[in-house]
Amino acid sequence: MTLPSALTFNNGQTIPSIGLGCWMGQPGEAEACYEMVLGCWMGQPGEAEACYEMVIKGLKVGYRHLDTGQPVLQAFGYGNEEAVGRAIRDSGLPREEIYVTTKLTFEDHGRVAEALDRSLKNLGLDYVDLYLMHWPQATDPKDKRTLAPEESPTYVETWKAMEELLPTGKVKSIGVSNFSIKTLDVLLPEAKVELHPSLPSFKLLEYCKSKGIILTAFCPLGRNFKLFADSHEFKSLNESEGLSTAQLLISWALQRGTVPIPKSVQESRLKDNFNVTKLSDHAMNVIDNFHKTSGVHGTLVFKSEDGKAFGWTYDQLGWGMDKNGNVVES
């Protein structure tokens, strides 16, 4: 089996199978996204230069899938659209060769068309290839209050507003991010969720495949990369497969039929992450079962003492986790 270079949505549009995630996490990292242009999640406004430089490096290496977003009023913000757009223009590459994803934020659920126009202006583009509802939760743009699942605009209402964007030509595809089987039972788009060997989400992946949904895997290397790199299982596979831990993780994600969006500001690692190959059945089996190791099965991203993520409980989100982010069902 040859690992795919692209996957096809149910509307016929294709998406490059590896993207670059450009979240840098700290202020002042925006230029890093400009050089990385794979997954452009920089974290906070003011980080454009770090993002810019990261995107440039990524495009030089060969990445053609950029994942970005607007600043948000909640804890996770991208705020790097301008840097990504500038990197695209400065790269000299034709627009049609670059796949651009951006997102609808919490506070824009009730003003979808306006939010998209803002993103296009930030990016300096006429269209985006994929427009994602970042989370099912909506917030009141005035008082920043998280709305309950039944309050308007619900994510179903927001989705219907996103569907109205398709005839405009400003988006080629629409999708959702951070949805579960529970929420996807109501909505059947392209989904982007946290996926890595500590949170393989086999049931969610099986569900999505049965519905013709393509999963994009954010954090494919996990937040705690050492959890994998220092393990006996991965050290053994490093030797037997002749691959780095990052290459193992990304190859595993691709071989499962998902779209990973790793990130790195170092050009050598960008090249390493892009050099993937088919894994042996033994390697796939080892990584598939890694989450069964004591103490490693859980989300590496969302852990909350009050058992909530951005105002909704894990039950409302449809996540099988306890309040500490530990998976209680697989």
Q: pLDDT truncated to tens, each residue of the chain (330 aa)?
A: 578 888 888 788 999 888 887 665 444 444 444 443 444 444 455 567 888 999 999 999 999 999 988 765 444 445 688 999 999 999 999 999 999 999 999 999 999 999 999 999 999 999 999 999 999 999 998 998 999 999 999 999 999 999 999 999 999 999 998 898 899 887 865 666 778 888 898 998 998 899 888 898 888 887 678 889 999 999 999 999 999 999 999 999 999 999 998 878 788 888 988 889 999 999 999 999 998 887 778 776 666 777 788 889 888 988 887 777 776 654
Residue 190 is predicted with a pLDDT of 61
Catalytic residue numbers? 78
134 annotated to a ligand binding site: yes
The answer to whether 177 and 103 are in contact (CB under 8 A) is yes
Q: In b/e form, how buried is each residue of 302-328, taking b as 16+ CB within 10 angstroms?
A: beeeeebbbbbebebbbbbbeeebebe
Residue 279 is predicted with a pLDDT of 97
Residue 328 is predicted with a pLDDT of 67
Residue 280 is predicted with a pLDDT of 98
Residue among 139, 67, 157 nearest 103 (CA): 67
In angstroms, rounded to a whole number, what is the distance separating the alpha carbons of residues 252 and 260?
Answer: 10
Residue among 202, 307, 137 nearest 326 (CA): 307
- The backbone region for 219, taken as left when phi is positive above 0, alpha when psi lies in -120 to 50, beta otherwise, is left
Q: DSSP letters along 77-141, please? A: B---HHHHHHHHHHH---GGGSEEEEEE-GGGTT-HHHHHHHHHHHHT-S-EEEEEE--S--B-T
User: Is 24 strand, coil or helix?
Assistant: strand
CATH topology of domain 16-224+258-276: TIM Barrel (3.20.20)
- The backbone region for 280, taken as left when phi is positive above 0, alpha when psi lies in -120 to 50, beta otherwise, is beta
